[in-house]
Amino acid sequence: MLNNIRIVLVETAHPGNIGSVARAMKTMGLKHLYLVRPNLFPSQTADALASSAKDVLDNAVVVDALDDAIADCHIVMGTSTRSRTIPWPLLSPRELAEKARDEFNHTQVAILFGREQSGLTNEELHRCHFHVQIPANPEYSSLNIAAAVQVIAYELYFASLTESQPGSWDYPLATAKELEGFYTHLETVLINMDFLNPKAPRQLMTRLRRLFGRAQMDVMEVNILRGILAAVNNKL
Amino acid sequence: MLNNIRIVLVETAHPGNIGSVARAMKTMGLKHLYLVRPNLFPSQTADALASSAKDVLDNAVVVDALDDAIADCHIVMGTSTRSRTIPWPLLSPRELAEKARDEFNHTQVAILFGREQSGLTNEELHRCHFHVQIPANPEYSSLNIAAAVQVIAYELYFASLTESQPGSWDYPLATAKELEGFYTHLETVLINMDFLNPKAPRQLMTRLRRLFGRAQMDVMEVNILRGILAAVNNKL
């Protein structure tokens, strides 16, 4: 289970935090670190704070775009401390861990952590199927990023120690890339239908992303929906 | 509940870690920090890493001896990554949090964290009623001290959000100081009885500490046992 989970850090400012994240990950058996546009990496500060988890840094994947970090993932979760205008399916770290554990063996899971100062953007959060919030003191809820990774990694490791009862399903879950293809297709058709005005899109696509993300669609379902979209488009 | 919990750091080497611990504590609603022989405190590095938790540092209590930090506590727990020659009652962070939650309102709880490099000594661990072990990767289980505090504080905060069903009891729990008085009394009597050879004590007192600590005695029970010890001594 732990081998199918990746930690994705978006635009981390301080290299020391990247090192501390690597250490936190390794203590909980996580190996796969993705860095989206890190401010400075590799760095000696990161190496020093990683302590004996330098191998996690050595194997880290640096990418320019978030989509490159999550394209092949089936479940994408993003950490968020703010309430959004549109509420999103929200998990506690414990629920996140149980969800990751109870999926199938080959499900790839990405967990996103945002910038030290400002977290994830709304657009990035809309890429996520679920949001994760670490319960914290309402008067001061600002965990250091490595501390946040430690808490979530701890819940994942703890969950991995207990028996799982995986469900059974007939088709594999769709990947993030397949879902993006679907969303693009959907948006195009909605625009063609004059249902969605691209000059005043409001929150339509956001709400649709939330709906389909939460549903965790399989590849067959995506194919069916895209078949419907293609048929609609033909009729126009 | 959270107001009755103190975090005790023993001989912390790096002031930055003290600051990071303060931040981790405050994010989870913990306020009371005790420092036993810190290497350097106060310090600007600690202040910087505490971020908005400087009030926790300002109110920290610095003491010379561990006993001064725990004397008035009813439950003392110590973090340990090593297996000891004598197994001690061992809790996970979750069990620790549930135990702290389910005790009475006025129970004072101390949670001890040892040196960055070497943890708590055996003697310090024997002061604890329970040991706490954070589940971790067997190949690399070395959490940074602030990360360890974060995980345990998170479990405490999470537990504090859920309902507790406190039991009922007729007497308050004995404090650590009262227990130490009992252990000293017991040891003296055992020596007087020639049961314990102070030149070759072996692990007798250690095992007795483990037994009585685990039992979480109330003040009446301690009084009864000390009454028995006094009576034995009178007979000698």
Q: What pLDDT does residue A84 have?
A: 64
Q: Which domain holds residue B182?
A: 176-235
Q: Does residue B165 lie within any of the structural domains?
A: no
Spatial separation of the C-alpha atoms in residues A97 and B108, rounded to whole Å: 32
Q: Does residue B168 lie within any of the structural domains?
A: no
Q: Given A93, A126, A160, which residue is the final one in a domain?
A: A160
Give the closest of B136, B146, B161 to A28, CB-based: B136
Q: What pLDDT does residue A216 have?
A: 85
Q: Give contacts of A24 with chain B, Cβ < 8 Å.
A: 143-144, 147
Same domain, yes or no: B143 and B187: no
Spatial separation of the C-alpha atoms in residues A154 and A137, rounded to whole Å: 19
Q: What is the domain-level CATH number for residue A185? A: 1.10.8.590
DSSP3 helix / strand / coil % (chain B, rounded to 5):
50, 15, 40
What one-letter code names the amino acid at B81?
A: T
Same domain, yes or no: A151 and A185: no
Q: What pLDDT does residue B91 have?
A: 92
Same domain, yes or no: A9 and A100: yes
Q: Give contacts of B146 with chain A, Cβ < 8 Å.
A: 144, 147
Q: Does residue A107 lie within any of the structural domains?
A: yes
CB contact under 8 A, B142 and A20: no
Same domain, yes or no: A155 and A194: no
Q: Given B160, B189, B208, which residue is the final one in a domain?
A: B160
Same domain, yes or no: A67 and A122: yes
Same domain, yes or no: B222 and B149: no
How large is the angle between the packed helices A15-27 and B145-160, nearest 10 degrees? 70
Same domain, yes or no: B81 and B57: yes
CB contact under 8 A, A92 and B158: yes
Instruction: Find which of A49, A57, A81, A137 to mutate to test the B interface (most B CBs within 10 Å of its CB).
Output: A137
Spatial separation of the C-alpha atoms in residues A29 and A22, rounded to whole Å: 10
Look up the ipTM and state it: 0.81
Same domain, yes or no: A148 and A183: no
Tokens 């799982």 belong to which residue? A164
Q: What pLDDT does residue A203 have?
A: 84
How many C-beta atoms lie closer than 10 Å to residue B204's C-beta? 15
Same domain, yes or no: B79 and B126: yes
Same domain, yes or no: B50 and B126: yes
Structure tokens, B123:
């003697």
CB contact under 8 A, A27 and B94: no
Same domain, yes or no: B105 and B139: yes
Element at B229 (helix H, strand E): helix B219-235
Q: What is the domain-level CATH number for residue A79? A: 3.40.1280.10
Distance from CA of B108 to the nearest CA of A (A): 20
Tokens 């309430």 belong to which residue? A83
pLDDT tens for chain B, 236 residues: list them: 899 999 999 999 999 999 999 999 999 999 999 999 999 999 999 999 999 999 999 999 999 999 999 999 999 999 987 666 677 888 999 999 998 888 766 789 999 999 999 999 989 998 898 999 999 999 999 999 999 999 999 999 999 988 665 556 778 889 999 999 999 999 999 999 888 999 998 888 988 898 888 888 889 889 989 998 898 888 77
Q: Does residue A165 lie within any of the structural domains?
A: no
Q: Does residue B207 lie within any of the structural domains?
A: yes
Distance from CA of A20 to the nearest CA of B (A): 8
Positive/negative CA dihedral, A200, A202, A205, A206: positive
Q: What pLDDT does residue A62 have?
A: 98
- Which residues does A contribute to its contact with B (CB < 8 Å)? 20, 23-24, 26-29, 51-53, 92-94, 134-137, 140-144, 146-147, 150-151, 154, 157-158, 161
Distance from CA of B144 to the nearest CA of A (A): 8
Instruction: Find which of A117, A142, A154 to mutate to test the B interface (most B CBs within 10 Å of its CB).
Output: A154
Q: Does residue B84 lie within any of the structural domains?
A: yes
Q: Does residue A166 lie within any of the structural domains?
A: no
Q: Given B160, B189, B214, which residue is the final one in a domain?
A: B160
Same domain, yes or no: B136 and B184: no
CB contact under 8 A, B20 and A158: no
Q: Does residue B206 lie within any of the structural domains?
A: yes
Residues of chain A with pLDDT under 50: none
Q: What pLDDT does residue B166 have?
A: 55
Q: What pLDDT does residue B47 have?
A: 98
Q: Structurally, how many domains does chain B consist of?
A: 2
